[in-house]
Chain A
Amino acid sequence: MASAPSPTPGGYSVTPTEPAARPRAHGSAPAGGTLGAAQTAVRPPLPVKMVIAGGFGVGKTTAVGSISEIEPLTTEAAITEVAAGVDDLTHTPRKTTTTVAMDFGCITIDPTLKLYLFGTPGQDRFGFMWDDIVEGAVGGLVIVDTRRLDDCYAAVDYFEHKDIPFAVALNAFDGKVEYDVNEVRWALDVSEHVPVVVFDARERGSVRDALLVVLEQALARSEG
């Protein structure tokens, strides 16, 4: 494994000075802690990001909500409809802007590590927006409604193109899928290395297991 020199013990580039080398961050926030302690800049957890992609209404937000420790949050981003960098925005006022919604949640692994789950906007024409969300992600889960297979092509293409570890998860609406894993694998023409699983976006354990499949992919890549 290539040695990845850690810029700081926590894996951050921290801009201003910080209290150095805190041996162990304390997890549970000291409820009612002293004012002085509360005002000390704490070392935040290392954020690890996964992306939940797929067509519109396929269960992305449901999946995030099933496992997130917070109610899924939504941010809005008003961006140009043509694939332009944000820098162009002020210079091209005639371009139409669109507001896209992005839902996300998180799971605290331990006081030093936090998993973030970001859902991509469902429409593939917002693909340029994805870079903003996906940059730095360790992996992606493409959720598929087997009744509308073609809705997931954009997401599959995106992760393949970006060479990001991902898995395909068939959401079992009403407890069943229209096509089995092999049929979907054939239809999507994904590499045999890409796991295809059946899951239920409403079940926390099922979402957890689907995310673990992606993380195992990412780990294999990291160790490979």
Chain B
Amino acid sequence: MADGRTARGADDDGFPVDPFGPVAAVRPFLVTAGRVAPTASGRPVPVETQVVATAEGLEALDRLSFEQHDIVAACRQPQSIAEIAARLRLHLNVVRVLAEDLRAAGQLTVHVPHIDVTRDASVLRRVIDGLRAVPDSRGVLRDTD
């Protein structure tokens, strides 16, 4: 399109395209028994919060069902809340609620990052140094064209 707007939700011919595929047969919060907040008191954990399956969780895998099973299985390697939601096509807040349940049951560990730490100068310097090492698309650090 001339205006450069690449409309999400419409293909080249203007037909609407569902970016998320078929609508789920189950409403998101049915799987959380209607709960929408991860904890009674706390704020929702950040989307980048890391979640890892425990040995206990992996052992219990066969006894877990549906979303709980999928989340624990997906967290053999550390995953962020957002990655779990994207990969399992679950609502972010559903993942937050279920991850808290699974943590309380000892099947996951939930690692909430502290802003004081991520904004600390030493951490930022490490990110800067690491990012500087990312090559250009051509595989060189800096190109002259």
Given A73-B83, A101-B19, A13 contacting B134 (CB threshold 8 A): no
Chain A residues with CB under 8 Å of B87's CB are: 73
Q: Given the complex of chains A and B, what is the CA–CA distance between A14 and B111 in angstroms?
A: 5
- Distance in Å from the Cβ of B17 to the closest Cβ of chain A? 12
Interface residue ranges, A against B (CB under 8 Å):
1, 4-7, 10-16, 18, 29, 38-49, 56-57, 66-67, 73-78, 86-87, 89-90, 99, 101-102, 104, 106-107, 109-110, 113, 115-116, 118, 132-133, 135-136, 138, 145, 147, 173, 203-205, 208, 211-212, 215-216, 218-219, 221-223
Is B16 in contact with chain A by the CB < 8 A criterion?
A: no
Ordered nearest first, which 10 A-B pairs have the shortest CB separation?
A11-B117, A44-B78, A205-B136, A109-B130, A44-B50, A73-B86, A47-B48, A4-B116, A39-B55, A57-B5
Given A4-B120, A11-B118, A67-B134, A74 contacting B55 (CB threshold 8 A): no
Given A16-B54, A116-B48, A86 contacting B118 (CB threshold 8 A): no
Contact call A136/B134, Cβ cutoff below 8 A: no
Contact call A77/B93, Cβ cutoff below 8 A: yes
Contact call B130/A4, Cβ cutoff below 8 A: no
On chain B, which size bracket covers the interface? 35 or more
Contact call A136/B48, Cβ cutoff below 8 A: yes
Contact call B126/A110, Cβ cutoff below 8 A: yes
16 A-B residue pairs with CB within 8 Å: A11-B118, A13-B111, A16-B106, A46-B117, A57-B4, A86-B44, A90-B36, A109-B126, A113-B123, A115-B131, A132-B47, A132-B92, A135-B43, A136-B118, A173-B4, A208-B136
